[in-house]
Chain A
Amino acid sequence: MVHGFAKYRATAGWLLLVLLTGYAVLSLLWQQIHLYPGIPETDPVTIHEARIAQLRPLLPPSGAVGYVTTVENGEIFAAEKTFTNVEFLAQYVLTQYTLAPRIVRNSPDLPFVVGNFIDGPPAPGFLEKNGLVPIRDLGDGLILYRKDRKP
C-alpha cells in the first residue's frame, strides 16, 4: 500500500518535472518567436560596426587612436557603473570592437581622435578646448579629428 503510494509520488515527480520544463521551454520559444517580427533586419551591433568600419581606411593599421563622444570622457564609465546610462559605454566598446587591432583610448589626447556623436553633439567649446580639428565628417555623427598641438 505504502509502496504503491511511493510509486504515485514518483510518477507525480516526473510528471511535474516534464510539465514545468515543457512549459518553460515552450514559453521561451514563444517569447523568441513573438519578439522576432519586431527585430530590425540588422541588429544594432552590426549597424554600429558598419558605421564605424568607414574609419578603417583612414586610420593607421595599428597603434592607438583617441575617442570623444557626446559626454565628457570621464562620464562614459561612470554612467554605466551607476546604471544611469550604458549607451555611451556600449558605443565606445563597439568602436573598439570594430577598429581592433587599433587601440581606441578613452581620451582626446592622441594624434587621431574618433568623434562618435550619434546621441548628439558634445558640450559647446569641448572640441576647441581639446584642440580637435575635423579631418573627415563621415555622416551620422561620426567624425575623424586630428589633434592640434596648439589649441
Chain B
Amino acid sequence: MIVFFLAPLLLSLISGVLLTFIFLPSPKNDLQGLLLRLFVGGGLGIGLSACLYFVSLPAGLSGYIPLIDLAVCLVLGLIGYVLMKRDRREAERPAESQLPDRKAALPKMGSKLETWIAVLFAVELLASLGSFLFAFLKEPHGKWDAWLIWNMHARFLYRSGEAWREVFAGGMDWSHWDYPLLLPLSIVRGWKYIGNDSIYIPAAFALLFTLLTLGLLLCALAFLRSRIQGYLAAMILLGTPFFIMMGASQFADVPLAFFMLATLVLLCLPARSPENRFGATVLAGIAAGLCAWTKNEGLLFLLIVTGSLFGTTLYADGWRSARKKTVRFLAGALPILLIVIYFKTQLSPANDLMEGFSLTVAAAKLTDFSRYAEIAKAFFITGISFTQGLIDLRVGMQLNPGAVNILLLIVYLLLTGVRIDDRDRTGLVRTAAVLLMILAGYFFVYVMTPLDLGYHLATSLNRLFLQLWPSVIFLFFLTAGAPETAPSPGDISRTASKPSTTKPAKGNKPKRIREPK
C-alpha cells in the first residue's frame, strides 16, 4: 500500500529531476546543485504529471497513468543519460565553459556561524513540521477552500469516471469550476495509484509543496548567495505562521507560490551559470506555465513575467537577446498554456469576476476613488499583517504584525546593508518589477471586481500576498549583505563573492567585481 501511496509522488519527483538534468547540463553536481535540482525539478515534475494526466483524460488513457508515468521517467532518464555521457566527453576536452566555481565564492562549509544557523534552522523546521502535523490532525480534510474547491474538484473528477466532462457544466458556480486543475488532478492521479480517495493524498501534496517551496528558497539563495543567506531566508518562511497553516490547509496558494518562486529563481540562474542559460529559461517558462495551470492569478503572472523578461533583457542586452530569451521562455510555457487555453475554452464555465462586465460598469468603478482608498488601506493593513494568518471575517481587517513580517525584512536589510552582485542586477530588477507589477495587477482586479469589495478583500488579499511572499523573501536576500561578510562603507553595491573563474558565454560580458576587504 505504502508503495502505491509513494509511487505517484516519487515518479513525479524523479521525472522533474531528470528534466533538470536535460535542461541544466551543469557539469558540477555537488550536493547543493543536486538539492537545487531536487527542489526545482520536484515541483515541476508534479505540475507536468498533472498536465500529462489531463491529456490522458480525453484520450481515455487515465487508467494507464502509472504505466505512462513510468514510460516518461524511462524516456527522460535515457535522454538524460545520453546527454550526460556527451557532456562528460566534452568535459574531458579543454573546457570552453563551465559553471562558476561557487565553492570558492562561499564561506567554508562548517564555519561556526553556518553550523549554528543550520542547527537553529533544523530546530525551526522540526517545530514547523510539528505544527503542520497538528494542523492536519485538527482538520484532515483541510480548511474551507480545500473542501469547497480543490478537494471537491478532485473528488468529482475521480468519482465521475468517464463522465468527468459533465461536472464542468454542472452549474456549481459557487465551487469555481473555472479554476485550473493542477492541484485537483495531482490528487486524482495519487488516488488512481492507490485505488481510493484517501484523505492522505491531498495532505501529502500539501506537505510536499510546503517543503518544496522552503527547500527551493533555501537552495536558490545558497546557490546564488551563501548557505547562511539560504538558511535565514528559509527561517523567515518557517516563521510565517500563515505559510505553514496555508500549507496544511490544502489550498492551491502554496503550490502557486512555489511555481512563482521557481520561475523567478530560474530566470536568475543564467547570470551565474551561462552554460545553463538556454535550459534555465525554458524551465522558467515551464514553471510560469504551471502557475497558470494552478490558479487564475497565474495567468496574470505569466503575462507580467513575459513582459518583464523582454523589457529587462532589451534594456540590458539588446533586441536580439531579448527576442531569443523571450522565445525560449515562451517555448517552455506554450505546451502548458495550450492545455490551459483548451481547459478555459472547452470545459470551464465563465469566471465569476467577469460577471456583468461592461464598459459603463468598468468606467464607473475606475472613476470611483473611494474604491482606491479602500483597497489601498486594505493593502497596507494586510501587507503588514498577512503573515499572521486568516483574518476573522466578523472582526474585519486589523493591524496584526506579529513577529515576522515585511518590516522584519526591511530592518534586516538596513542592518546588513545592500550588496548586489553585478551578475544578479538584471535578475534582481526583473524580480522586483514582476512583484510590483503583479501587486498593481491585483490592485486593479479589486478596483474592477463585481463582488462586494470588502468581502472580496477580506477573503482573498492575504492569500494573494502569501503567494508572493517566498519571492519577496528571495528578492530581499538577493539584495542583502551576507552576515558572514559585512559590507564596509562605500561597498554597498558590490558583491562579497569572488569573481567567477568561468569564461563567460557570448553576450554575457564579465563585469568587475570588487573583492571584499
A interface list, Cβ under 8 A from B: 2-3, 6-7, 9-14, 16-18, 20-29, 32-33, 35-36, 39, 43, 45-46, 49, 62, 77, 81, 83, 86, 90, 93-94, 96-97, 100-101, 103, 105
> Nearest Cβ in chain B — how far from A133, in angstroms?
25
Interface contact A10-B160, CB-CB below 8 Å: no
Question: B144: which A residues are within 8 A, CB to CB?
Answer: 90
> Nearest Cβ in chain A — how far from B408, in angstroms?
6
Interface contact A100-B155, CB-CB below 8 Å: yes
Interface contact B244-A28, CB-CB below 8 Å: yes
Question: A22: which B residues are within 8 A, CB to CB?
Answer: 120, 123-124, 235, 239
Interface contact B140-A93, CB-CB below 8 Å: no
Tell me, in angstroms, the Cα distance from A97 to B411 when the chains sit together: 46
Can you name 15 extra interface pairs (CB under 8 A) apart from A17-B236, A27-B403, A33-B130?
Answer: A11-B483, A12-B415, A17-B235, A20-B408, A21-B124, A23-B403, A25-B131, A28-B244, A36-B138, A90-B144, A93-B174, A97-B141, A97-B155, A100-B152, A101-B160
Q: Which of B377-396 contact A (CB under 8 A)?
A: 393-394
Choose among B151, B238, B415 the residue that contacts A25 (Cβ–Cβ < 8 A): B238
Tell me, in angstroms, the Cα distance from A21 to B233 when the chains sit together: 10
Q: Which of B77-121 contact A (CB under 8 A)?
A: 117, 120
Tell me, in angstroms, the Cα distance from A90 to B244 when the chains sit together: 23
Q: List 15 A-B contacts (CB under 8 A).
A: A9-B415, A13-B416, A17-B236, A17-B408, A18-B232, A21-B238, A22-B124, A26-B127, A28-B128, A28-B244, A29-B128, A39-B138, A45-B147, A90-B144, A93-B174
Beta-carbon nearest neighbor of B143 in chain A: A45
Choose among B124, B139, B228, B415 the residue that contacts A16 (Cβ–Cβ < 8 A): B415
B interface list, Cβ under 8 A from A: 117, 120, 123-124, 127-128, 130-131, 134-135, 137-141, 144, 147-148, 151-152, 155-156, 159-160, 163, 167, 170-172, 174-175, 228, 232, 235-236, 238-241, 244-245, 393-394, 402-404, 408, 411-412, 415-417, 452, 455, 480-483, 486-489, 517
Question: A29: which B residues are within 8 A, CB to CB?
Answer: 127-128, 130-131, 134
Interface contact A101-B159, CB-CB below 8 Å: yes
Interface contact B483-A13, CB-CB below 8 Å: yes
Choose among A3, A21, A33, A101 the residue that contacts B486 (Cβ–Cβ < 8 A): A3
Choose among B140, B151, B159, B170 the residue that contacts A46 (Cβ–Cβ < 8 A): B140
Interface contact B486-A7, CB-CB below 8 Å: yes
Interface contact A33-B140, CB-CB below 8 Å: no
Using known A-B contacts A97-B155, A100-B156, determine if residue A28 contacts B241 with beta carbons closer than 8 Å.
Answer: yes
> Nearest Cβ in chain B — how far from A31, in angstroms?
8
Using known A-B contacts A18-B235, A20-B239, determine if residue A96 contacts B152 with beta carbons closer than 8 Å.
Answer: yes
Question: B148: which A residues are within 8 A, CB to CB?
Answer: 93, 97
Tell me, in angstroms, the Cα distance from A21 to B124 when the chains sit together: 8
Using known A-B contacts A28-B131, A35-B134, A45-B141, determine if residue A21 contacts B488 with beta carbons closer than 8 Å.
Answer: no
